Structure 1
Amino acid sequence: MEVKKGRSNGETQGIDRLSNLPDHILGSILSFLNANDAVRSSILSNRWRALWKTVPVLDFDGDLFKTEHKFSECVGKVLALRNHDCNLRSLGFNFGDHAWERQPNGELLFGFNFGDHVRDWPNGEKLFNQVMVYAASHGLQQLSVRCVLGTEVSNGTFNSLVGLVSYCNQSLETLELLRFHLTSAAYRLWPRFKMLTTLNLAFCYLHDPSSENSVDPFAKFPCLKNLRLVCCSPRAKVGPVSLKISGLQLLKLEMVDLVFFHGIEVTAPKLESFGCWGDVLLQEVPRLNICSIDRAYIRVARYEQTALQPLAKQYMELFRALYNTKSLTIYFDAIKILSETRDLLESELSPFIRLMSLNVLYSEQPLKIPSRVMLYFMGGSSDVEVEERIKFHKVAPPAFPYS
C-alpha cells in the first residue's frame, strides 16, 4: 500500500492508491491469495470488508491448518459468507501433507483415507462433497485437487472423489490432479466431463485393470484440447503396460518423464504443439501419428552411462515422426550428441519438410553447429537462409518442469 505525502492548504494529505483501485482489479489481486488470506484482507478497512466475497477464485490449502477441525471450520465459513450471486471460476483444494505428521506419542495428527496405512479423516469426503456441491451450483470452470504427499490413493476413495468431481461435468473446463490413481471406475466417469478442454495429471497411476496390456484413458474426452502428463506411470507390479494417447480434438500435448510404460503411442490428427522432456525416450521411442504439428519441443535426459549411439538413434527416430513441424526447440546437448555420432548422419537425409525455425537453448556458451548437423535440420537451405532460421537462446540450467 503506497501513501503519498503532499501539501494541500498547508496540510499533509495521505493517498491510499491501492484501495482506490476499481473493485475488479482488487478482486484480481485477491484471487492470487489462498482463501484464508483473502478473508483476512477484510480487516484492512471498510473498503476491503466485502471484497473477498465476490472473488471468483477459491484456494483451500490444508497445509495451513494443524487440525482437520480448523480446516473444515475455515472452509465452512468461507462458503457460508461468500456472495452466492457470484460464480466460482476456479477452485483449488489441497488435502494437505499434515496427514503424515505424528504427535509425540506416535499417533497421526490427522489423515485422509489414502490407503490402509493412513488413519481415516472422518469428515474428509463430507467436506469435499460440500465444496464440490457448492462449486457445481456456481458454474465452476477450473478445478485443481492435490492429494497427500507420498501416499497412494485407495480405489474406494478415488472413485468417490471422481464421483464428486462429476458434479461439475456441465461447466468444468480445466482439471488438475496430483497424486491420484486412475482406476477403471474413473475411466467410466470420464465421458461425463463434456466441457473439459484442459487436463493436467502429475504423479498419477494410469492403469485400467480391465485391460491387461494397454490403457487409453483420454479417448473419451469429446472436447479435450490440452493434455499434460508429468511422471505418470502404470500401476506397480502389473506387468508391461503400453500407453495410448488418443485425441481427435487434441491440440497441445506435453509428456514429462513417462519412463515405466512398455510403449507410448500418440494419435492426434489435429495436434499443433508437442513437447517431450526427460527420460521418456530411454526405454522406447513414442509412436507418433501426428500430421499437422506446428511446434515441437524435445529434450532427452542424458546420463554418463548412456551410450551415444542409441540415444542419437532415438533422437533421429523421433525427429522423423516430427517431419511436418514448422518450429523445433531443442537443447544444445542434442546438437552435441548428433555431432559425436557423425556416422549416423552420413546416410540420413533431413526429415523436416517445412521447418522454418530451429530454436537452440543453451546454459553455457554453445559451440558452432557443424555443417552436417545443420544440414540435417535444414535440408538443402543456403548458409544465409540457415543463419536466419536458427536462433540461440540462453537459459538457466534446465530444471525439471513440474509446474
Structure 2
Amino acid sequence: MNPEGDRLSSLSDDLIIKILSFNDTKQAVTTSILSSRWRNIWKSIPHLDLSSDDITSLNIFSLSVPHVLSSRNDEIDLSSVKLGVRGGFSLPFVKTVLSYAYSHNVQKMTIIWSCENKIKIPLSLFISQSLKDLTLIGSSRHNRPLCKIKSSWDLPALTTLHVEHVKFNYKNHDEYGGLFSQCPNLKNLTLYNCTINRHFSNAKMVAHHLKNLTVVDCRGPLLIHTPELVSLMYKKPFFNRFSADDLSCLEKVDFYMSSSYEEDGYFVIQMLQQFRNVKYLTIGLEIVELLESSLGIIPNMPSPFTKLKSLTIYPGWEEGEKKANIPIEIKDFLLNGSPSATVSIYSREDVKGLKSKFA
C-alpha cells in the first residue's frame, strides 16, 4: 500500500460499509461523489438514518428519501432504521418508509415524530414479522401526548419496546390488552410520559413473557398481567393507582410516588404487598411519608417482604432537602419479614456526591 495514497479507499468494501454505518444516511450518500468506486458503496449499508432536522425544505426531504430507498441494493436487508420527521409529513410518506423497512427484514427501528397537532397513529404502521426493537417518541404539548394509538401492534418478533409521549386510547380492557398480546416475545417495555385512556377504572396490560417494565410519568390507572416480570421501575410525581394480578417472579423494584391525600397511604400499603417476593427494593422518601399517614393501621399489619435482601431509600421529588427520619413502625413494616436485609438511606447531598463521583 502506498503510504502517501488514499488509505481509506484501500480498505475493503465491507470495512468501508461498516465505517459509513456510523454516519447518517445523508452523509453516507454524499460519499458517492468521491470516485467511481465510492459511487455505489453506500447502497449496501444495512442501516438507514433518515432525519429532517438538518433539511431546510420538507419537500426536498420527502423527495430525496424515496430516491434513496429505490437506489439501495435491494438484496441487502436492513439491521436498523431511524426516522425523524416533523409535523409537515403525511402518514403515507411514513408508511412508505416503514413498508420498505419491513420488506427488508428490519430488526431495530426508531421513530421520532415532532408534530404540532394531534395525530392518530394507525395499526398499519406496526405490522412486521422481523422487528425486534422499537422506539417510538411522539410529541407533547404542556406535557400531554399529541400522538394517539388506538389499535394493536402485530409484532411477533418484538423483544424491546420504548414509547414516549403517546396516548393509548382504547374502548375496553380487551382492546387495550390486545396492544401487547400480539407481541408474544416482548421482554423489555418502557413507557415514558404516556397517557392511558381514563374511561375505565383500570386499563389492563397483558404481556405474558415481559421481564423488565419501566413506567415513568404516565397518566391513568394501570392493571398489569405480567407473570414473568423480574424488574419493575414505577415513578410518578403524584399518586396513581397500580395493581397486578401476578408478580410472583418479581425480584427488583424501584418505586416512587407522592400524594397530598392521607387516604392514599392505605393504597400504597396495598401496592407494596404486591411486591412480597421482591429481593431488592428502592423507594422514594414520599413513599415513607405516605406510610406515615397510615401509622394507625401499620402496627397491625405483617411485613409483606420475606425475601428482602436490601432496602434503599432515596430523597423525594422536591428540590428542598428532607431529613429521612423513619418511624420505627414503618421500619418494622418494611423489614420485620427480612431482618437481615441491608438498609441504605441517601440524602440529596449524598446523591449529588454520587453523581459527581461517576461523572
- Give the secondary structure class of the aligned counterpart of 2:119: coil
Query: Does 1:223 find its partner at 2:185?
Result: yes
- Matched residue, 2:149: 182
- Matched residue, 2:223: 265
Q: Is the 8 A contact 1:266 1:290 kept in 2?
A: no
State the alpha-carbon separation in 2 of the partners of residues 368 and 46 from structure 1. 72
The CA deviation string for residues 3-32 of structure 1, in whole angstroms up to 9 with x for no partner, is xxxxxxxxxx99x99999998887667555
- Matched residue, 2:263: 310
Number of aligned residue pairs: 336
- Matched residue, 1:118: none
State the alpha-carbon separation in 1 of the partners of residues 235 and 161 from structure 2. 18
RMSD: 3.9
State the alpha-carbon separation in 1 of the partners of residues 184 and 115 from structure 2. 31
Q: Is the 8 A contact 1:178 1:204 kept in 2?
A: yes
State the alpha-carbon separation in 1 of the partners of residues 21 and 234 from structure 2. 32
State the alpha-carbon separation in 2 of the partners of residues 208 and 220 from structure 1. 16
TM-score between the two structures when normalised by the length of structure 2: 0.76
- Matched residue, 2:52: 62
For residue 300 of structure 1, report the CA deviation from its aligned partner: 0.9
State the alpha-carbon separation in 1 of the partners of residues 310 and 173 from structure 2. 42
- Give the secondary structure class of the aligned counterpart of 1:289: coil
State the alpha-carbon separation in 1 of the partners of residues 311 and 155 from structure 2. 37
Amino acid at match of 1:348: M
Q: Is the 8 A contact 2:230 2:250 kept in 1?
A: yes
Amino acid at match of 1:202: E
- Matched residue, 1:275: 233
Amino acid at match of 1:182: I
Q: 2:106 aligns with which of 140, 157, 161?
A: 140
- Matched residue, 2:132: 173
The CA deviation string for residues 43-79 of structure 1, in whole angstroms up to 9 with x for no partner, is 7999988775544332211232232321123323433
Query: Does 1:324 find its partner at 2:283?
Result: no
- Matched residue, 1:400: none
Residues 242 and 312 from structure 1, CA distance in 2 versus in 1: closer, same or farther, beyond 3 angstroms? closer
Gaps of 5+ in 2: 139-146, 354-359
For residue 181 of structure 1, report the CA deviation from its aligned partner: 2.2
Q: Note the 1:243-392 alignment, pairs <5 A.
A: 243-259=203-219, 261=220, 263-279=221-237, 282-302=239-259, 306-307=260-261, 309-338=262-291, 342-362=295-315, 367=324, 369-379=326-336, 381-382=338-339, 385-387=340-342, 390=344, 392=346
The CA deviation string for residues 255-282 of structure 1, in whole angstroms up to 9 with x for no partner, is 22332x3x42111111111121115x72
Residues 194 and 214 from structure 1, CA distance in 2 versus in 1: closer, same or farther, beyond 3 angstroms? closer
Q: Note the 1:45-124 alignment, pairs <5 A.
A: 52-96=42-86, 99=87, 111-112=88-89, 121=90
Q: Among all aligned residue pairs of Structure 1 and Structure 2, give the percentage whose two residues are the same amino acid.
A: 26
Query: Mean alpha-carbon deviation: is it higher for 64-73 or for 321-330?
Result: 64-73
Q: 1:149 aligns with which of 104, 112, 115?
A: 115
Query: Does 1:131 find its partner at 2:97?
Result: yes
For residue 316 of structure 1, report the CA deviation from its aligned partner: 1.8
Q: Is the 8 A contact 1:271 1:293 kept in 2?
A: yes
State the alpha-carbon separation in 1 of the partners of residues 235 and 104 from structure 2. 37
For residue 396 of structure 1, report the CA deviation from its aligned partner: 5.4
Query: Mean alpha-carbon deviation: is it higher for 361-370 or for 351-360?
Result: 361-370
State the alpha-carbon separation in 2 of the partners of residues 85 and 291 from structure 1. 46
The CA deviation string for residues 121-142 of structure 1, in whole angstroms up to 9 with x for no partner, is 4xx51x3344234322322011
TM-score between the two structures when normalised by the length of structure 1: 0.69
- Matched residue, 2:143: none
